[in-house]
Structure 1
Amino acid sequence: MKLNDFIWMPFSDSRDDYRNDIAKAAINEDWGHDLRYLYDYVRDNFEISHKQGKVRTSPEGAYCLFRAGSLVTREGEPLTILGVKNRLSGKQPYFYKRLFARERFVVRDDDNVEHDEEAPPAPDYEIPPYHPEYKLAYNFEHYLDDHEPRMEERFPALTTHQRFLCIYAALELAHKRGNQAAVPQWYCDRNADEGSYQWLLPLYVTTEDLSIKPDLVATLSPQPEYAEYNVRTLIPPEYAYSHARAVSGRDPQFRTWA
């Protein structure tokens, strides 16, 4: 179940934007320009929670509750999103009402009846192991030709062939040390019914310093039936940050990517 099929979440620069509510209540961190990283964070964590049966609906379907991932307040209180039944036909079943920033709270339904509730459990991140023994399946035409401007921006002094050699070597090296370098992400394709775990490999071409932002990040889709990882695309690290943050907690391993 995708978030946008289940609940309407206001997404604008207005004060009613749910991202503002979460950013104000949660432990302070950088969520990017216009809180853009929170969009993917909430969406990905909803999908995981729904898949694990952790999205709670009232018996009459008047409202729903689900956690804003594993985020908590400074005092360690959980953050719970409340959605109320949408009376508009042809729309999502629920729409965003408010955020609760405590373990126990009261929800008032349309009939003004109060219901004692507590925060649903946070999603569990059941991240599969990385397999450095898998082969990598490449599509260099996509990396180097379809995204040629991106490659030129990152490596302006290199020829196309030199970029190929550098990217190939960087991928193979990152894959060999994948148990230490690979970062999990949750990702759902636009036409897919649900998301799944993928891997992100930071690629260092212009520096050996692994403590700074990588040049690019490769997205890997597991293909266990072939013992392969499909290297789908190469993206700037800031593009990869939000989906990694959604399931990787506050791991400093990818903090430089934002």
Structure 2
Amino acid sequence: MSQQPVIAFIGAGNMARAIIGGLLENGFAAANIWAAEPDASRLQDLAEQGLKTTCDNNEAVAAADMVILAVKPQIMQAVASELADAAQKHQPLFVSIAAGISLDALDRWLGGNAAVVRCMPNTPSLVQTGASGLFANARVSEQQRNLATQAMEAVGIALWVQNEAELDVVTAISGSGPAYYFLMMEAMTAAGAKLGLSEETARGLTLQTALGAARMASSSDVDAAELRRRVTSPKGTTEQAILTFQAEGLEAIVEKAMVACRDRAEAMAAELCKD
């Protein structure tokens, strides 16, 4: 990374650690990263890697150019409100990776006039294959947008959406999406075992097939529909499986599931941001 600003993480859970790991692997200096967490025992290994650590969130914010709010949505209001004085005094960029917390609510809790980015990452960030959607309020500068992009690209891809409401759709696709694929993997593994394979063999074949299909799709110059057509020979075995999926309404089920996910994200926002 060309820039070496100071980045502070409020919360040191799995997602924060994934981003920290990605930053370190991309050449970011450990000495320029702060991690704040009320449980000092959870910070020991980060300190051993050269990070600055503290149990005082305000100390971390005071030192930072960018603050990544990596706490659960249910406690975001309390955490952000306690940072209001430091936010007003030091005016760093704030990046929230909590689902359902609006930019307006974050700005209000931080005391107003804050530069805030909402980011919806996903769990494959833990293995640096994440997909994040981002949206910024009007007070975020181009330089700050670039900094947020750099941080999230350390663990995968980072795509900016056109409006804040689209982040709920991002939640329905990539935020919750890994679980959809895990469910498909469960089903294929179970079916393979019922058809006579050992569970170990069925699982190995399922996982490698999922990995291979994803790599083919991400590296191809054609879309997924065309890739499917290319491996679906008329009156062949694959065609029979595809026709069965379609007869059972797979496309409609996927759309219905994603709508339910988006609607729940909207409802969570209404619940969490009402104060």
TM-score normalised per structure 1: 0.22
More helix, by proportion: 2
TM-score normalised per structure 2: 0.21
More contact order relative to length (CA 8 Å, sep ≥ 6): 1
